[in-house]
Amino acid sequence: MKNRGFTLTETVIVIGLYVVILLAITNAYLSFTRLYAYQQTFVPVAQSAGGALDAITAAVLPASQVLAQYTFSGTTRSSSSTALVIESPSYNSSGSIIVGKYDYIVFYLSGTDLYRVTAIGAGSVRTAGTKRVGSMVNSLTFTYDNTDFALVTNVDTDIITQTVVRGQTVGSRLHQQTFLRNK
């Protein structure tokens, strides 16, 4: 009785098949980790754009007018294609408009962070101060339906947020037109 083993050719073929299978598994793993990293980055990028647009919309809807400029704690801010200054009626705790009182809000970029500064009228329930409402902002553009800010009735907002992960740019772009309800 002869002991029969594998021939050299059979061994090389089996090793070759294992190498091909191992390369396929490695490639699938690397593709999965790239996709996972992209998706893990995309969520906060998209949330930043959505949150920023929500904050802008929530401020513009009840606004009575877009202002050419307003001075917030000694810093004058002006409406432009990259900044928005609005005047909005002040509301009391029961949700009623306080006659003759206004809150002033500005949205502006500082680096890649979008800020909202609010100055409130007496008795207003809005929170005064500065708040970061977006990050990773690559571009923010405001477009107005009139060159005279006192006559503006709607504001177009275009926001692009993005970051780079593993050499790949991950971004989100949102656009919305918002009408001033109290105009």
Residue 164, classed as helix, strand or coil, is strand
This model's pTM is above 0.75: yes
Nearest to 130 by CA among 142, 119, 139, 138: 119
pLDDT of the residue at 135: 94
Tens-place pLDDT, residues 122-177: 999 999 999 999 999 999 999 999 999 999 999 999 999 999 887 888 899 999 99
CA atoms within 13 A on the CB side of 36: 6
pLDDT of the residue at 139: 96
Whether 159 contacts 135, CB under 8 Å? no
